Chain A
Amino acid sequence: MDRRSFIKLTAVSGTTAALASCGNPENQLVRFVPDEDIVPGQATWKPGVCPLCAAGCGLTVRVMDADKDVVRDGQAGVVKIYAAKKLEGSTDHPVNHGGLCTRGQASIQVTYHPDRITQPLKRSGTRGEAKYEPISWDDAVAELVGRLDALAGAGNQRALALLGQARTGHRGLVVQQFLQHFGAPAPVRWEFFGDDLLRRANALSFGKAQLPTFDLANARFVLSFGADFLGTWNSPVSQSHGYGAMRQGRAGIRGAFVQVEARMSQTGANADQWVPVRPGTDGVLALGLAHLLMAAKVVTPASAARAGALIDGWSDGLPAYSPDAVEKLTGVAAAKVERLARQMADMRPGVAMIGGPALAHTNGLFSALAVNALNGLMGSVDQPGGVSFTPQFDVAAAARATGTAPGAGASLEQWAAGTLAGGSGATQVLLIDGANPVFAAPRAWRVREALEKVPYIVSFGSFLDETSALADLILPDHSFLETWAENVPESGSGVAVATVAPPAMAPLHQTRATVDVLLDAGRRLQKPLNLPWESLEALLGATFAVLPPAAEGGDAWSEAQEKGGWWGALPAALVAAAGAPAASGMTPVAFVEPQFDGDAAQYPLHLLPYASTTFYDGSAAHLPWLQEMPDPLTSAMWSSWVEVNPTTAATLGIRDGDLLEVTSAHGTLQSAAVLTPGIAPDIVAMPMGQGHTQFTRYATGRGENPASLLAPLTEATTGALAWAATRVKVARVGDPDGRLVLFAGGSHEEGRHGPGEEHR
């Protein structure tokens, strides 16, 4: 820049506090007048709802001023905005009691992510090329409405489908009402670590199609079958809170904890006893314990009531599950089974739980029913120190929603098969709401091919991932901090809860709340849907208004906005029906050997893809804090790895950090070996989450996706994916190549994990 233009420039921008000390226009700091009244340096705390899993932890959001980059009238500069700075667990929230997990802490980066979709986009390249051009909201919604009108005009309303996470609460209600009033089928639900199998089991055993709540704080004995309840499963912060109290919250009483699983999870690492079992035999061990408790006349078979009646041989004391028989099937020594039974008898109240890999087998429903029966036998249901079910706020009743609630939608597998088969009912317009099945569904389901056959796909996602990159239209949602946030927790609280929070900050980008977009589109149809709510805010106002206020003469809606939700005793009219199918007539179940995909001779090892403490199922892999957070069991960052038992590794000539090739009948991948004693010799394990081909700058092309190896085996009754039922073979293919990054540097020789190692 020459002297003349420099003077010109500073003269022009002189009134806007230009900082042109270096004479470099990039260093100018132009400050625009903020849109809102801002008090710099002063923090306020607002309620929020954590979005990263279904647990629905309550948040307290610290909001302060920040300098946002903007361009106004062609002039680049900064403007002060109110921005969320820190998320903390809400202290009095009945689910999380002030705590927050590592993913919840990192969820603030969703809002500020540099690769967030900032405005509506329309596909400009070919499908999957992920090329998009900006489009206005008016045009975008008009395009969606046009597509829906075309379906309605042709009388083909059933060709609209929605593929999404299993959402409940107010958002779930609007989605369901939108589809129902339009005439479309119920949503297709997909979650890799979905718990529908356990809901089904609980409906059969206890009449509640719901995830369980555990009173760990008052338990003296906790027996968990595979459930990563302190890390990723169900309501982990609630359960961790109870766990801490169980261990050290009572004078003179320390609760005991036994974990049954073949690969030590973060949760299992905390157990007093860690009991590895053969894959798919968890239910056998549970019934073996029930057999001993009944034989010792500690309890009577009848105490399990309905849950026991579902098990074959229950009233006869389960003679088929003697300790010797259990040892033969599970690999757990008979003496150990007997000791466990004695501990259960002595340390009461006790509670059993099952989740994660224990259910991800072809016989998963049997295992779940077996553990439910054990809980029934121990008298643990609805008792202090036991298992119960959080009363559910009936949002549909409170909102006076019309029409009958739809039944279960098609499974992802069924939807993909139907779409590929084509025909008159095939999906013409697909809405995608927060699910990424292209990443995690078994390749054999051909979800990607099915999506490619759908003529028109709309995504509401905030990021381009493997699934939303196939969309024709992207209508990005606000982040959870920029809109009304709500959740009706299914579990994790002894009392009914409905969490709600007003927007904590103004939207950063040209985004819109998905619920409001749906309501708007419904109004603009040629045959309007006439959903009775103007917006999500109006719906929330209507439902919370019918809840009983805490203060005399107060109103629950104002109170809820203030404190971040409503919790307490629900009036009977507002308790959701459990929706339980009748158990009578069901043939009692007995153990059936689990099926595994792949010939045992050719594929000698079981593959266990497990929920990552940092990335869960991969949906949190785009957050840089989580990428760089050391995994609790390996200290790995930014990486994928394969966990191998040292004995197995010695047989195969594998050393720590070596590059391995893992092959199933469905795929192959290469990843680094981590030798660990906490895994059975016939199992290799990989964390889910990495291996994205499309998921922002931080996750794309990083690591390997174990789901690419999975067989399409399912549990027969529920259709749930048996994601722990694939066999693989493992071979060493090379030396460490630096792809495994460890924070601890490893307890091994210098330099095994790659170049460098120059700690600090």
Chain B
Amino acid sequence: MPRWGMAADLDRCTGCGACVTACHAENNISTVGPYQAMRGRAKHWIRVERYWEGEFPDVRLKFRPVMCMQCGNAPCEPVCPTYASQHTADGLNAQVYNRCIGTRYCANACPYTVRFFDFFNPEWDKPLHLQLNPDVSLREVGVMEKCTFCVQRIKAATIQAKADDVELKDGDIKPACVQSCPAQALVFGDLDDPDSAVSRLSESPRGSKLLEDLGTQPAVTYLSRQTLA
């Protein structure tokens, strides 16, 4: 059984936001419009954070793509009264939409603020609905949603490999954000496979994990941006 993880090389990431739109396209994330967005209800399973340092003219800006960290010890899981937020054998924090009763405890518990509540039923002005991905369920009002590492892609590739009677190779599975990244800053794979690209990157001396001291055991490793000596 693999243990899925990701590495984000901040020395490659350009902050372009391709991952954000790719995620919307893949995962049927509805847009909420300006009024609801103003009220903090826009949903972006992956976002690009920015950190300004210094004052003009000695200014630096650092980008950091942030998605669900798929924690090994996830604060969102024990607080869920219905086991909608639960851990899978391959290391994902699954969100079972039809168990979710919308207590939003998980979003309160998550230190990364990567969980998004559906305050209303999603809407697509027709015929925008023709684009919807049949592999991803739509979330209705009162449900919490979040990054799944594109579990539908993981499943599809796993099933296909089984049907073809071949071994899954490192790199066969790419979540939509990883696939789209122009600078190849994001790498996905099996952390239990010592030869996978993500395993090697996760052991880089440049690596660190977000809010790791909380004991969350994130499955996402950030490789720090370097500076010119």
Interface residues, chain A, with chain B CB atoms under 8 Å away? 41, 64-69, 81, 83-89, 96, 98-106, 108-109, 111-114, 230-231, 236-237, 240-241, 243-245, 247-248, 254, 256, 264, 266-267, 269-270, 272-276, 508, 613-614, 624-630, 632-633, 635, 637-639, 645-647, 676-681, 697, 702, 738, 741, 743-745, 753-760
Q: Chain A residues with Cβ under 8 A from B55's Cβ?
A: 646, 677
Nearest neighbor of B184 in chain A, beta-carbon distance = A244
Q: Which among A84, A100, A103, A254 has the highest number of chain B CB atoms within 10 Å?
A: A100
Interface residues of B in 164-223 (CB under 8 A from A): 176, 179-185, 223
- Of the candidates B133, B180, B183, B223, the one whose C-beta lies within 8 Å of that of A105 is B180
- Of the candidates A244, A248, A630, the one whose C-beta lies within 8 Å of that of B44 is A630
A100-B22, A266-B16, A637-B37 known; A678 vs B11 contact (CB < 8 Å): no
Interface presence of B117 (CB below 8 A): yes
Interface presence of B15 (CB below 8 A): yes
Interface presence of B143 (CB below 8 A): no
Q: Chain B residues with Cβ under 8 A from A111's Cβ?
A: 131
Interface residues of B in 22-71 (CB under 8 A from A): 22, 24-26, 31-34, 37-42, 44, 47-50, 52, 54-57, 59-63
Interface presence of B21 (CB below 8 A): yes
**Contact between B17 and A254 (Cβ–Cβ < 8 Å)?**
no
Interface presence of B163 (CB below 8 A): no
**Contact between B181 and A66 (Cβ–Cβ < 8 Å)?**
no
Interface presence of B14 (CB below 8 A): yes
**Contact between A637 and B184 (Cβ–Cβ < 8 Å)?**
no
Nearest neighbor of A242 in chain B, beta-carbon distance = B183
Q: Chain A residues with Cβ under 8 A from B176's Cβ?
A: 86
Q: Which among B14, B15, B49 has the highest number of chain A CB atoms within 10 Å?
A: B14
Instruction: Tell me the complex Cα distance, A264–B59, Å.
Output: 9
- Of the candidates A83, A237, A758, the one whose C-beta lies within 8 Å of that of B130 is A83
**Contact between A85 and B133 (Cβ–Cβ < 8 Å)?**
yes
**Contact between A64 and B180 (Cβ–Cβ < 8 Å)?**
no
**Contact between A114 and B14 (Cβ–Cβ < 8 Å)?**
no
Instruction: Tell me the complex Cα distance, A109–B22, Å.
Output: 12
Q: Chain B residues with Cβ under 8 A from A275's Cβ?
A: 57
Interface presence of B84 (CB below 8 A): no
**Contact between A624 and B56 (Cβ–Cβ < 8 Å)?**
no
Nearest neighbor of A331 in chain B, beta-carbon distance = B57
Nearest neighbor of B183 in chain A, beta-carbon distance = A244
Q: Which among B34, B47, B183 has the highest number of chain A CB atoms within 10 Å?
A: B183
Q: Chain A residues with Cβ under 8 A from B38's Cβ?
A: 738, 741, 753-756
Size of the B side of the interface (Cβ < 8 Å), in residues, is 67
Q: Which among B26, B54, B57 has the highest number of chain A CB atoms within 10 Å?
A: B57
Interface presence of B3 (CB below 8 A): no
**Chain B nearest Cβ from A624, distance in angstroms:** 5
**Contact between B25 and A87 (Cβ–Cβ < 8 Å)?**
yes
**Contact between B18 and A66 (Cβ–Cβ < 8 Å)?**
no
**Contact between B25 and A86 (Cβ–Cβ < 8 Å)?**
yes
**Contact between A630 and B20 (Cβ–Cβ < 8 Å)?**
yes
**Contact between B34 and A105 (Cβ–Cβ < 8 Å)?**
no
Nearest neighbor of A109 in chain B, beta-carbon distance = B128
In the A-B complex, the 6 residue pairs with the closest CB atoms: A244-B183, A99-B182, A240-B182, A638-B34, A272-B228, A759-B40
Instruction: Tell me the complex Cα distance, A102–B14, Å.
Output: 12
A230-B16, A678-B59 known; A760 vs B113 contact (CB < 8 Å): yes
Q: Mark B77-104, 1 if CB is under 8 A from A, else 0.
A: 0000000000000000000000000001
Q: Chain A residues with Cβ under 8 A from B74's Cβ?
A: none
A638-B33, A760-B107 known; A102 vs B44 contact (CB < 8 Å): no
**Chain A nearest Cβ from B217, distance in angstroms:** 24
Interface presence of B139 (CB below 8 A): no
Q: Chain A residues with Cβ under 8 A from B48's Cβ?
A: 630, 632
**Chain A nearest Cβ from B102, distance in angstroms:** 12
**Contact between B226 and A114 (Cβ–Cβ < 8 Å)?**
no
